[in-house]
């Protein structure tokens, strides 16, 4: 028998979350962001839940081929554009739209031989300082692109650094508007946090929104808001079972480094899940976990293949008891991935993407 650990992907929840994203910006088209293999879920596993999207946005050309192989004929956008000139051949062949964020990408397009001109999204660096042309250089890049026979329509895009936090997006929206106001073409600036928090603002939702983490049931602005506040459902459950039980006495310690010391008699369960499964090692004593759908806490340090849980709230739980590390338990109780991520000093995005290859995955609504 294999180890009892199992990840379950819920496409119906992905669909539900897409609907929640649409409600936040009803008149915008929605890019379903499926980069990083759909944030660790598997593109093929979530595809059914995302059929109602208007397009798929990703980074990797191999992932774009996988989306086309699923029969998707609509728009696909390469968020970082092409990485070398020959990638443009695949864009022509598969009809991929692509971001253009630097001069080299314009040079490559100018030298590209194609029968069909490309749809491009010209990226502005409006303050994130990652990719894109500064507002001062944006219009000359636009003019250069516009003069190329290889280019069809040019859309304008930028990306926010602080849509989930107190600094907000106003300064970047203002920079974007000032540099693009009289340019033709569609616009796309909002990620999940901007969509949920500012989707009511027509200057933010614009023609397209890029919905990423919202599709996967994690609140982009946790802990200020919780997934349930945004009507989001978990799309990934990581579950395992108890494979050992220990009865501790006062003074007994648990796990590597003896990080936990029992104050009195305590029953603990040993769970078949560790950091080699993608569970964060930084989750120390007190991280929430469900045993038989009842909320309890982890105890001590996470090891490679095991972790310990406090059985006090579920004294009947023994060998084989269901443990939900995040997601939905059999009794319907939900443990948001964001709470586990917070306990580990990280974000839900990282936990989803870090699910280890050794964990078997099934699809179940």
Ligand X SMILES: Cc1ncc(COP(=O)(O)O)c(C=O)c1O
Catalytic machinery residues = 35, 256
Per CB under 6 A, the list member of 37, 172, 191, 237 interacting with ligand X is 191
Which listed range, 171-179, 190-198, 306-314, 355-363, lies at the site for ligand X (CB under 6 A)?
Answer: 190-198
Which listed range, 13-21, 67-75, 210-218, 330-338, lies at the site for ligand X (CB under 6 A)?
Answer: 210-218
| 159 belongs to the binding site for ligand X (CB under 6 A) | yes
CA distance 278 to 238: 10
Per CB under 6 A, the list member of 217, 220, 255, 280 interacting with ligand X is 220
Residue facing ligand X at closest CB distance: 212
Site string for ligand X, 66-105 (x = CB under 6 A): -------------x--------------------------
| 213 belongs to the binding site for ligand X (CB under 6 A) | yes
Exposed / middle / buried, residue 6 (Cβ in 10 Å: 0-12, 13-18, 19+): middle
- Of 31-70, binders to ligand X (CB under 6 A) are 33
| 29-33 and 118-124 strand pairing | unpaired
Q: Which residues of 19-50 are buried (b: 16+ CB within 10 A; e: fewer)?
A: ebbbebbeebbbbbbbbbbbbbbbbebbbebb
Quote the crossing angle between the two packed helices 87-94 and 61-69, to the nearest 10°: 20
| 241 belongs to the binding site for ligand X (CB under 6 A) | no
**235 contacts 13 by C-beta, under 8 angstroms:** yes
Token couple for 254: 């648990």
Which listed range, 106-114, 148-156, 176-184, 211-219, lies at the site for ligand X (CB under 6 A)?
Answer: 211-219
CA distance 6 to 221: 28
CA distance 79 to 134: 17
| 205 belongs to the binding site for ligand X (CB under 6 A) | no
Which listed range, 178-186, 207-215, 254-262, 280-288, lies at the site for ligand X (CB under 6 A)?
Answer: 207-215
Q: Which is nearer to ligand X, 17 or 237 (CB)?
A: 17
* Residues at the site binding ligand X, with contacts judged by CB under 6 A: 33, 79, 159, 191-193, 210-213, 220
């Amino acid at each position: 028998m294999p180890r009892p650990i199992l990840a379950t992907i819920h496409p119906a929840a992905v669909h539900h979350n897409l609907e929640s994203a649409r409600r936040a910006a009803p008149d915008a088209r929605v890019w379903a962001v499926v980069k990083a293999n759909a944030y660790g879920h598997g593109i093929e596993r979530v595809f059914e839940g995302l059929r109602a999207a208007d397009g798929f946005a990703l980074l990797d050309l191999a992932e774009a081929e996988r989306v086309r192989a699923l029969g998707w004929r609509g728009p696909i956008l390469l968020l970082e554009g092409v990485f070398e000139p020959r990638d443009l051949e695949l864009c022509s062949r598969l009809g991929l739209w692509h971001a253009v964020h630097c001069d080299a990408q314009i040079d490559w397009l100018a030298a590209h031989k194609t029968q069909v001109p490309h749809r491009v999204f010209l990226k502005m660096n409006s303050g994130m300082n990652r990719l894109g042309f500064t507002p001062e250089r944006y219009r000359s890049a636009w003019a250069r692109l516009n003069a190329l026979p290889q280019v069809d329509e040019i859309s304008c895009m930028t990306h926010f650094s602080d849509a989930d936090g107190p600094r907000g997006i106003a300064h970047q929206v203002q920079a974007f508007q000032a540099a693009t106001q009289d340019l033709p073409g569609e616009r796309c600036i909002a990620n999940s946090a901007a969509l949920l928090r500012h989707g009511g603002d027509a200057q933010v939702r614009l023609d397209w929104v890029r919905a990423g983490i919202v599709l996967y049931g994690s609140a982009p602005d946790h802990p200020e808001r919780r997934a349930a506040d945004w009507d989001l459902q978990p799309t990934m459950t990581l579950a395992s079972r108890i494979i050992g039980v220990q009865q501790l006495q006062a003074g007994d310690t648990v796990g590597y480094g003896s990080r936990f010391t029992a104050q009195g008699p305590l029953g603990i369960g040993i769970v078949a899940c560790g950091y080699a499964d993608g569970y964060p090692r930084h989750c120390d004593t007190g991280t929430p976990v469900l045993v038989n759908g009842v909320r309890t806490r982890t105890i001590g340090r996470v090891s490679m293949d095991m972790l310990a849980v406090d059985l006090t709230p579920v004294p009947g739980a023994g060998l084989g008891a269901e443990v939900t590390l995040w997601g939905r338990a059999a009794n319907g109780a939900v443990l948001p991935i964001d709470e586990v991520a917070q306990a580990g000093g990280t974000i839900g995005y990282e936990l989803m993407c870090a699910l280890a290859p050794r964990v078997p995955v099934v699809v179940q609504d």
